[in-house]
């Protein structure tokens, strides 16, 4: 389970690397331009030098605008990566998500809700003397990891709220903590540290004009974190309910079955009452009696089962274009419960 999420996280990035470069070019350029043009407006030094007693709204107007654009641009990156990871590369326009689109503002609102839902109980519990701070940190990790699944759902226009996220992660508490919090943090810290040293070295040689490399590094780390979150979401909520990507007016396709000698293929519309995990389980239970006990490939949308004592026979299932494709090579015909009902 952990291995699957780990592999899916990197697959999303590296298998779509060239297209991600195109779709994320504009937001990356905007972030780099703002960081290069207004470095003093988005730093702690600016806040420290701001005189609160003589605060002028005009003095804060430009920093607020810059910060707002940066926030919306980062949200645009998150939406783009979430949709590619969950729905596929074609779910995002050529130049990526619209920075000031309706979907992006929904994500912003969801982030504000998320902040309050996590922060309020954590702050209140932290007020307990001595042990409060430790309980608060632990509670914050649990809440933030489990409730964060609303973000890939929001990016994919799914009806999946905070209560849904809490219920869906009931059996995946440790997984969400490890793969949403710990693993991305360790990876980001390690990669960020190494590349920050390299960038500092280059700046000393070339000059401060290449400081935009920090922005590119930040985008890469953000893409990695979002990809990890999307991979967990796909595991926890494997059956997509996106009304925008499925034409509900069309009737379900008939289950297609064909056989040639000992080779069999079955195509199942995903609107039947089944899912990828249940089909895998049924196929494994049936074919293990015939010696098929070795799972040689197990991804979110592809699975292969082999007989370790024979080279040619195998059982495979893949999910693509809203259909399940089952293929049996050199063995008996699949005997699925769904086939008995149709």
Tens-place pLDDT, residues 213-271: 888 888 889 999 999 999 999 888 875 544 444 444 467 788 999 999 899 999 998 88
DSSP class of residue 342 equals: -
Which of 22-26, 87-91, 116-120, 238-242 is modeled with the greatest confidence? Answer: 116-120
Question: pTM for the complete prediction?
Answer: 0.65
Give the Å distances, CA to CA, from 89 to 13, 46, 83, 96, 248: 11, 40, 8, 10, 22
Using the predicted structure, report yes or no on whether residue 42 has a pLDDT greater than 70.
no
> What per-residue confidence (pLDDT) applies to 250?
64
What per-residue confidence (pLDDT) applies to 243?
45
Residue 336's Cβ-side half-sphere holds a number of Cα atoms within 13 Å equal to 27
Mean pLDDT of 32-47: 66
Distance CA 11, CA 298 (A): 13
Confidence of residue 86 (pLDDT cuts 50, 70, 90): confident
Tell me how far apart the alpha carbons of residues 128 and 123 are, in angstroms, rounded to a whole number.
Answer: 10
More confident residue, 89 or 209: 89
Tell whether the model's pLDDT for residue 321 goes beyond 70.
yes
Asked whether 121 and 140 are in contact (CB, 8 A), the reply is no
CB 35 within 8 A of CB 42: yes
Output the six-digit token pair for 289: 């009696």
pLDDT of residue 2: 79
pLDDT given for residue 80 in this prediction: 92
Backbone φ and ψ for 296, nearest 5 degrees, come out as: -95, -15
Over residues 5-27, the pLDDT tens digits come to 878 888 888 888 888 888 889 98
Using CB atoms within 10 Å of the CB of residue 101, give its burial: 0 to 12 exposed, 13 to 18 middle, 19+ buried: middle
Which pLDDT score, from 0 to 100, does residue 108 have?
Answer: 94
Over the chain, what is the mean pLDDT?
85
Reported as a pLDDT band with limits 50, 70 and 90, residue 54 is: low
């Amino acid at each position: 389970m952990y291995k699957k999420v780990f592999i899916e996280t990197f697959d999303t990035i590296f298998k779509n690397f060239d297209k991600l470069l195109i779709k994320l070019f504009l937001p990356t350029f905007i972030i780099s331009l703002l960081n290069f043009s207004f470095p003093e407006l988005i730093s702690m030094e600016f806040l420290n030098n701001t005189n609160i007693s003589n605060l002028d709204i005009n003095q804060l107007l430009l920093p607020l605008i810059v910060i707002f654009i940066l926030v919306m641009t980062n949200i645009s990156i998150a939406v783009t990566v979430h949709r590619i990871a969950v729905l596929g590369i074609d779910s995002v326009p050529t130049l990526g998500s619209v920075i000031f689109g309706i979907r992006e503002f929904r994500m912003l609102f969801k982030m504000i809700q998320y902040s309050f839902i996590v922060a309020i109980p954590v702050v209140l519990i932290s007020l307990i003397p001595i042990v409060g701070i430790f309980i608060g940190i632990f509670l914050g990790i649990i809440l933030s990891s489990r409730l964060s699944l609303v973000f890939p759902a929001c990016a994919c226009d799914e009806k999946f709220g905070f209560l849904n996220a809490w219920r869906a992660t009931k059996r995946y508490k440790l997984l969400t903590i490890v793969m949403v919090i710990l693993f991305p943090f360790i990876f980001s810290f390690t990669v960020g540290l190494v590349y920050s040293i390299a960038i500092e070295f280059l700046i000393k040689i070339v000059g401060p004009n290449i400081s935009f490399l920090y922005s590119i590094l930040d985008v890469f780390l953000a893409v990695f974190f979002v990809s990890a979150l999307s991979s967990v979401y796909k595991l926890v909520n494997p059956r997509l309910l996106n009304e925008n990507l499925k034409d509900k007016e069309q009737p379900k396709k008939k289950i297609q079955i064909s056989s040639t000698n000992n080779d069999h293929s079955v195509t199942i519309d995903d609107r039947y009452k089944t899912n990828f995990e249940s089909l895998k389980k049924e196929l494994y239970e049936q074919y293990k009696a015939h010696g098929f006990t070795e799972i040689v490939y197990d991804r979110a949308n592809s699975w292969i089962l082999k007989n370790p004592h024979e080279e040619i026979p195998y059982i495979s299932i893949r999910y693509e274009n809203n259909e399940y494709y089952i293929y049996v090579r050199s063995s008996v015909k699949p005997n699925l419960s769904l086939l008995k009902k149709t």
